[in-house]
């Protein structure tokens, strides 16, 4: 599978973005987008090679990402591309991997569906469904 992006929980996107731009040469490829489903603001950045990161800012204490921020933030999950999200969901079900967010439209991902799983020994994993990976 191909990695789509690495997601990083931050206190404030605007403050964190300056560090990724100035030190690692990542630049915004989306505006800051509010995702009411996940209760976060997100912004995608990319470097010249096309590698992407997603900065995640919790909206409030009810955000699922707030616990990560309270622990210091940082890398939250890796998102992988897939072409058939339902087959990933079925495989996870068969392997008794816990789905923490069923397929929903992903903010900043052009309406592509995403799903989140907690995978033992790996942690939080996201899959985004594109027609072609």
CATH of the domain at 11: 3.10.180.10
pLDDT in tens, 86-123: 999 999 999 999 999 999 998 888 889 999 999 999 99
Residue-averaged pLDDT of the chain: 94
Longest dimension (CA), the chain: 44
Across-strand partners of 56?
A: 9, 42
* pLDDT value of residue 33: 96
Q: Which domain holds residue 79?
A: 3-129
In which residue ranges of the chain is pLDDT below 70? 132-133
* pLDDT value of residue 133: 44
Cα separation of 25 and 8, whole Å? 16
Structural domain tally of the chain? 1
* pLDDT value of residue 132: 54
């Amino acid at each position: 599978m191909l990695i789509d992006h690495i997601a990083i929980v931050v206190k404030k996107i605007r403050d964190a973005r300056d560090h990724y731009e100035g030190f690692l040469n990542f630049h915004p490829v989306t505006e800051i987008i509010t995702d009411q489903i996940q209760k976060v603001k997100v912004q995608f950045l990319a470097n010249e090679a096309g590698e992407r990161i997603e900065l995640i800012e919790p909206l409030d204490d009810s955000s699922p990402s707030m616990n990560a921020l309270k622990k210091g933030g940082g890398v939250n999950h890796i998102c992988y591309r897939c072409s058939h999200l339902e087959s990933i969901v079925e495989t996870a079900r068969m392997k008794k991997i816990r789905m923490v967010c069923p397929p929903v439209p992903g903010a900043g991902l052009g309406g592509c569906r995403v799903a989140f799983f907690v995978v033992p020994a790996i942690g939080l994993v996201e899959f985004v469904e594109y027609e072609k990976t």
